[in-house]
Structure 1
Amino acid sequence: MIDPSAMNPNDDAWRNKGSQPSLPEVHRSLQVPTKGSWLKKFLAFAGPGYLVAVGYMDPGNWATDIAGGAMFGYTLLSVILISNLMAILLQALAGKLGIVTGRDLAQACRDHYSKPVVFTLWLLCELAIAACDLAEVIGSAIALNLLFGLPLMYGVLITVLDVFIVLLLQNKGFRYIERLVIVLIFTIGACFITEIFLSNPDTPALFHGFIPTHHIVTNPAMLYIAIGIIGATVMPHNLYLHSSIVQTRRYEQTELGKREAIKYATWDSSIALFFALFINAAILIISAATFHEAGMTEVAEIGQAYDLLTPLLGTAVGSILFGVALLASGQNSTLTGTLAGQIVMEGFLNIRLKPWLRRLITRLIAIIPAVIVTAISGESGTAQLLILSQIILSFQLSFAVVPLIQFTSDKKKMGVFANPLWMKLLAWFVAGIIIALNIFLLYRTFFG
């Protein structure tokens, strides 16, 4: 029997009712067994976390990780670890919001805020998705250029086809998208395990790098790179994405059913984000073990890293694996970025476009500036555009984090699932750090 208090008693706390479900074509399409072992239930929930984790290892992260490792060795591994712990907390809250309320974060904002605020939040979020998509387009184009010598312009244009891959997979079922993403993540992981083995890092120094040091705060250059790593790691559109895709599971709409769903969804995203931690840490470790050890502290671009790995490692395999991982990363991020674009437009504006049209619009918003800059400035211009995309993401992050914490801490909206006091304090502390660091990053970028 369904517990009425666990459905949406919170509907009275929201302004608008009767919203269509998020991603209606796959909403509650995957059955979660009500009986059986905890492992069987967990495996039914496993998947959305890996789509979320993709955003934490996209090409936009690579430049900051490479620069951090080349300039400061293993020291900034602690920053990657702290960033990931922040991400685990925020993604858990996003999953909980979707499971408890049946709304994704974009719908929740539309239901709660006034129309001018909602429209502003939508514009900022679209800008962030376009910036993230821009990083994916450029990353994929650079990978195709490095691996096959394909001109950057052609690589940028080829990425338009990714839109139709997502559409085809989603029509076959959401599990197909999840499986492809997981295969690509493990491809990236396998490439970097081999790279670490080839680079032969200093193991004691590597583990010591995960311990925070005061030098990160006292050294302005190190602080700037550290903030860049945090800004590139915690992705705002992932919060919207996660709150939606957890609803692809058909779990019991009771208090117990929702508690189980929250538990397994949190496990799923937390485990997946540790894969993201490994990927980001691996990029920095390889950069530290090759470039920093060789005294090449100025390496900061993906193309530079690719060209230098072969002579430094003594084998072409290092560069090839680096390029393959970059291509897999760009393609993976494309899959999740197009989904996030659909969620945000439908959630904020309640506008329903055909999925192929929505994804084509999202992709063109990213491709047009990439084509223009590539045509005018070439490789150097795309590197600068990659940096700009991360600045835009940093700016938008606070506008996603604050509503998320506000909603999940509100007992009128969440009922018995509202954040306990310790989680409220921790979440607002994390939000305060993110906001302060991103303000500092923006200040240093434009005035420093």
Structure 2
Amino acid sequence: MKKNNSLEEVHNSIDTGAKTSVFKRILAFFGPAYMVSVGYMDPGNWATDLAGGSRFGYTLLWVLLMSNLMALLLQSLSARLGIVRQRDLAQASRDTYSRPVNFILYFLAEIAIAACDLAEVLGMAIGLELLFDIPLLWGVSITLLDTFLLLFLMNKGIKKMEAFIISLIAIIGLSFIIEIFLAEPEMSEMAKGLIPSIPGGEALYIAIGIIGATVMPHNLYLHSSLVQTRKFDRTKKGIKQAIKYNFWDSVIALNLAFFVNAAILILAAATFYRNGMFEIAEIQDAHKLLQPLLGTKWAAILFALALIAAGQSSTITGTLAGQIVMEGYLNLRIQPWVRRILTRLVAIVPAFLAIYYFGERSTGELLILSQVILSLQLGFAIIPLIHFVSNKQKMQGFEISLPTKIVSWLVTLVIVSLNIKLVYDEIHSWLMSSENPVYIWVFVIPLAVFFLFLLVYITIKPVLEKARGQAKLVPHIDKIIVSENNRSITYANIAIALDFSEIDKKSLESAFQLGGKEAKYVLIHIVETVGAFVYGDKAHDFETMSDARYLDEYKKKMEAFGYKVEVRLGFGNPKTGIPEVVNGADFDILIMGAHGHNWVKDLLFGTTVGAVRHKINIPVLITV
């Protein structure tokens, strides 16, 4: 099974060990959380914060604080997963769940990213309309160019991309510092807003939207990948240090995001709620009213400028998350520019159609709906994440503590419970108001029940796996078929390349037919983990140890039947690893599986068989 580095273009591109001073080493780790934090201040947040502040004043300020604490906890878990296991959340899910389940999880993750991207595209387009009077549909179309900006920044290196993002965050923060100074909010009312309360059903809908806008599922995928851009000493001390530095990176970055979100809600409460304007949910309305209410044109200009900066920065990270999800769940790698254009189109097309059919006044409702969709998807990302970082064997001693585990599950319970209540209330409302509810009973309710069962499944599946024993990271065959064979020797020294799939059975049986019991067999397997690519034979991750153990089991099974067996473990890419092992010894023939690729897959992804065949000087027997 082919394993790829997450965001391979920038993987391990920053060597933190090369820094001469402790301060520079700490700064080298800082950056991933800032990339993640922009998702916590994107235009979708603006819509929910404006709606919450204008309708309920400072009442929902506590929801923002609670959401920020949730986000800090979950992002730290995500970073820990990437640092310790060197797998992003999507890759870890692919290693754990079945292919059909992973495909559904991928589909849900893409919906979440599309919803997030929808908010970013709309925000960017609205900002262009407010500042330059560009029609909204034209603004949506212009956002396609963001894709090429991302490609340019990726080519310049991850540090320059992070610097660009941080500069945009600075623009947003500075704009709102000035806005808050102009709005003069009431400090006593702000303090009361930190006391938990939900005024009614509409407030619950907005509160869930705020949670979805703050604790964003695509950021969990993104953070677990971005931390892998840092190269550091893979010792226990080095890993522990990386976890600590990335935690503080998250604390600083997410608190900045909390300041921006709180500033928007406070601005709405101090400006609109205080003046009796309770229905300001459209960003365009907020922009128009800021100047007359605050008495300066700079209030409106700064608001639009911050909105463009938020949309631009968020769209870059959203596109990266799309790449991570596609490669992680589907193990699908296509050309970077194709992948990013496709990811952008997934957001642009719904935004374009919604504005075209429902008009520009629908953007506020679309933005809030996009954040509710994000919240509904959260459970499908959080639950696997907690399972992954709680696994003692896979986390190699860096699993989360019991108190952290309890708090994490409580956060999950709160989010999932709120979402179930929201779905129940919405379906009940549709049933009561619909003249023909048969469609709801036939389509909506079965779909809701299906996803509820899926949520239960991904919760209990790792628990059951743990009860039965350690889950396998690769599709190792359960039974090794070794038969008696007393034929005279045809080949004396046979190399067999194994990948722990069903094709191994045929490769072994073919080898026994050619060599009998007098031949010597050498079993070859190439470890393709991230650690194997970077550290070679010095890699000591879980999959390396697992693969070595399975090779040894193959050997013992064959030796029990009287065969002479050796094992060789290689590291990195099989296309080069297998020839290195074969050319380094005196083999008569190599036997390996074809893995069922057709010419289309070979054209897109390449073929190990073809690459190996041209790099060795002995016959190759390919089993299919």
CA contact (8 A) 2:212 2:373 kept: no
Does the C-alpha gap of structure 1 residues 298 and 161 become closer, same or farther in structure 2, counting only changes over 3 Å?
Answer: same
Q: Determine the structure 2 residue equivalent to 1:385.
A: 366
Q: Determine the structure 1 residue equivalent to 2:388.
A: 407
Task: Give runs of aligned pairs for residues 22-421 of structure 1, distance below 5 A.
Answer: 22-33=6-17, 37-210=21-194, 212-213=195-196, 215-216=197-198, 219-421=200-402
Provide the secondary structure at the position in 1 that maps to 2:332: coil
The whole-number CA distance in structure 2 between the counterparts of 1:95 and 1:397 is 17
When the two structures are superposed, what TM-score results if normalisation uses the length of structure 2?
Answer: 0.67
CA contact (8 A) 1:231 1:438 kept: no
CA contact (8 A) 1:97 1:243 kept: yes
The whole-number CA distance in structure 2 between the counterparts of 1:421 and 1:368 is 45
Q: Please tell me the residue identity of whatever aligns with 2:324.
A: I
Does the C-alpha gap of structure 1 residues 363 and 435 become closer, same or farther in structure 2, counting only changes over 3 Å?
Answer: same
Deviates more, 1:329-338 or 1:431-440: 431-440
Which structure ranks higher in relative contact order (CA pairs < 8 Å, sequence separation ≥ 6)? 1
Query: Residue by residue, what CA displacement relative to the aligned partner does 1:372-403 show, whole Å, maximum 9, x if unpaired?
Result: 12222221233332233222212211100000
The whole-number CA distance in structure 2 between the counterparts of 1:438 and 1:301 is 24
The whole-number CA distance in structure 1 between the counterparts of 2:202 and 2:92 is 39
Q: Please tell me the residue identity of whatever aligns with 1:91.
A: Q
Query: Residue by residue, what CA displacement relative to the aligned partner does 1:313-358 show, whole Å, maximum 9, x if unpaired?
Result: 1111111111111111000111101111111101111111111110
CA contact (8 A) 1:391 1:442 kept: no
Q: Please tell me the residue identity of whatever aligns with 1:138.
A: L
The whole-number CA distance in structure 2 between the counterparts of 1:174 and 1:194 is 31
CA contact (8 A) 1:33 1:40 kept: no
Q: How far 1:445 moved relative to its partner?
A: 4.1
Provide the secondary structure at the position in 2 that maps to 1:353: coil
Relative to its length, the structure with more helix (as a share) is 1
Q: Please tell me the residue identity of whatever aligns with 2:280.
A: V
The whole-number CA distance in structure 1 between the counterparts of 2:221 and 2:77 is 11
Query: Residue by residue, what CA displacement relative to the aligned partner does 1:85-107 show, whole Å, maximum 9, x if unpaired?
Result: 00000000000000000100000
Query: Residue by residue, what CA displacement relative to the aligned partner does 1:27-51 show, whole Å, maximum 9, x if unpaired?
Result: 0000103675543222011100001
Q: How far 1:446 moved relative to its partner?
A: 4.5
C-alpha RMSD over aligned residues: 1.4
The whole-number CA distance in structure 1 between the counterparts of 2:173 and 2:275 is 25
CA contact (8 A) 1:64 1:225 kept: yes
Q: Determine the structure 1 residue equivalent to 2:404.
A: 423
Q: How far 1:230 moved relative to its partner?
A: 1.1
Q: Determine the structure 2 residue equivalent to 1:441.
A: 422
The whole-number CA distance in structure 1 between the counterparts of 2:50 and 2:427 is 22
Provide the secondary structure at the position in 2 that maps to 1:28: coil
Q: How far 1:115 moved relative to its partner?
A: 0.6
CA contact (8 A) 2:122 2:351 kept: yes
Provide the secondary structure at the position in 1 that maps to 2:205: helix
The whole-number CA distance in structure 1 between the counterparts of 2:244 and 2:399 is 14
Provide the secondary structure at the position in 1 that maps to 2:333: coil
Query: Residue by residue, what CA displacement relative to the aligned partner does 1:226-265 show, whole Å, maximum 9, x if unpaired?
Result: 2221122110000000000000000111111100001101
Q: Please tell me the residue identity of whatever aligns with 2:79.
A: G
Q: How far 1:133 moved relative to its partner?
A: 0.7
The whole-number CA distance in structure 2 between the counterparts of 1:72 and 1:223 is 11
The whole-number CA distance in structure 2 between the counterparts of 1:97 and 1:121 is 18
Q: What count of residue pairs does the alignment treat as equivalent?
A: 429
CA contact (8 A) 2:281 2:364 kept: no
Query: Residue by residue, what CA displacement relative to the aligned partner does 1:113-133 show, whole Å, maximum 9, x if unpaired?
Result: 111111111111011111111
Does the C-alpha gap of structure 1 residues 35 and 386 become closer, same or farther in structure 2, counting only changes over 3 Å?
Answer: closer
The whole-number CA distance in structure 2 between the counterparts of 1:194 and 1:285 is 13
The whole-number CA distance in structure 1 between the counterparts of 2:262 and 2:360 is 26
CA contact (8 A) 1:56 1:235 kept: yes
The whole-number CA distance in structure 1 between the counterparts of 2:291 and 2:241 is 49
Which consecutive segments of 4 or more residues in structure 1 shift more than 6 A? Answer: none
CA contact (8 A) 1:228 1:441 kept: no
CA contact (8 A) 1:33 1:44 kept: no
The whole-number CA distance in structure 2 between the counterparts of 1:387 and 1:289 is 21
Q: How far 1:368 moved relative to its partner?
A: 1.0
Q: How many percent of aligned residue pairs carry the same amino acid?
A: 58
Query: Residue by residue, what CA displacement relative to the aligned partner does 1:135-159 show, whole Å, maximum 9, x if unpaired?
Result: 1111111111111111001000000
Q: Please tell me the residue identity of whatever aligns with 1:311.
A: P
CA contact (8 A) 2:17 2:233 kept: no
The whole-number CA distance in structure 2 between the counterparts of 1:200 and 1:435 is 37
The whole-number CA distance in structure 2 between the counterparts of 1:177 and 1:268 is 16
The whole-number CA distance in structure 2 between the counterparts of 1:133 and 1:113 is 27
CA contact (8 A) 1:231 1:390 kept: yes
Q: Please tell me the residue identity of whatever aligns with 1:101.
A: R
Give the unaligned 5+ runs of structure 2.
Answer: 430-624
